[in-house]
Copies of this chain bind each other. A is one copy, B any other.
Amino acid sequence: MHKVARTVAPIHRLLAERWSPRAFRPDPVAPEALVGLLEAARWAPSAGNMQPWYFIVATQEQPEEFEKLLSCLVEGNRRWCGTVPVLMLTVARVQDTGGDENRWATHDVGLAAMSLTIQAASLGLYCHQMAGVRRQHAAQLYQVPAGHEVWTAIAVGYRGDPESLPDDLMERELAPRTRKPLDSFVFSGSWGETPAWLPEAP
């Protein structure tokens, strides 16, 4: 499968084989699987164990709820998310109860979202996380309380046929995954210095 990550040291298959498709099968996600995804998020670490993450979840089984959540995505994401079996919004609690900023809130939402994504991978499910969210619209629509911010959306389901996508999205679906080389972001000693133990890119 040409989407598998190419690495200079082996990584676990759940990490190597995960990617973010746009073509999903319409098959529903079983409730137990969905609960497992949220349990994975629940047990993520967080600063001071504050667990500043929230998930608003909509499935195709509840069409009104699904349409409501779908309306929170930007047009470019609504193009392919209408038939995804499960959509979620993530929300970060960016202020603690005393009104102080939790600087790590969105970072910790990321920790929880990645746990959820890897749990999904362990069940043969794929997640596509999206920054393209109408955040103000979503906050108003769901009456998200003060001190909380809508952050991302996540599509969840089984991978579908790339040919079900419009041509431009199909092209992206079939393109290889790319990442910057390790030596562009892994340093030791000082900024920009490559660690001696880092192998050269192949």
**Which A residues fall within an 8 A CB radius of B?**
5, 7-12, 14-16, 18-20, 31-36, 38-40, 42-45, 47-49, 51, 53-59, 62, 65, 68, 92, 103-104, 106-115, 117-119, 122, 129, 131, 142-145, 151-152, 177-180, 182, 185-191, 195, 197-199
Contact A114 B187 (CB under 8 A): no
Q: Are A152 and B39 in contact (CB under 8 A)?
A: no
Residues of B within 8 A of A186 (CB): 38, 54-55, 57
A sample of 19 cross-chain residue pairs with beta-carbon separation below 8 angstroms, ordered by A number, consists of A5-B39, A8-B39, A9-B33, A9-B36, A14-B118, A15-B43, A35-B197, A38-B186, A38-B198, A44-B114, A45-B129, A48-B131, A54-B187, A68-B189, A104-B106, A107-B109, A111-B117, A114-B114, A114-B115
Cα A47 to Cα B16 with chains together (Å): 19
**A35 and B198 within 8 A (CB):** yes
Known A-B contacts A56-B188, A65-B189, A110-B114; the reply to A122 vs B43 at CB < 8 A is: no
Complex Cα–Cα for A62 and B39 (A): 39
Q: Is the CB of B142 within 8 A of A191?
A: yes
Q: Can you name the residue of chain B whose Cβ is closest to the Cβ of A149?
A: B103
Q: Is the CB of A185 within 8 A of B39?
A: no
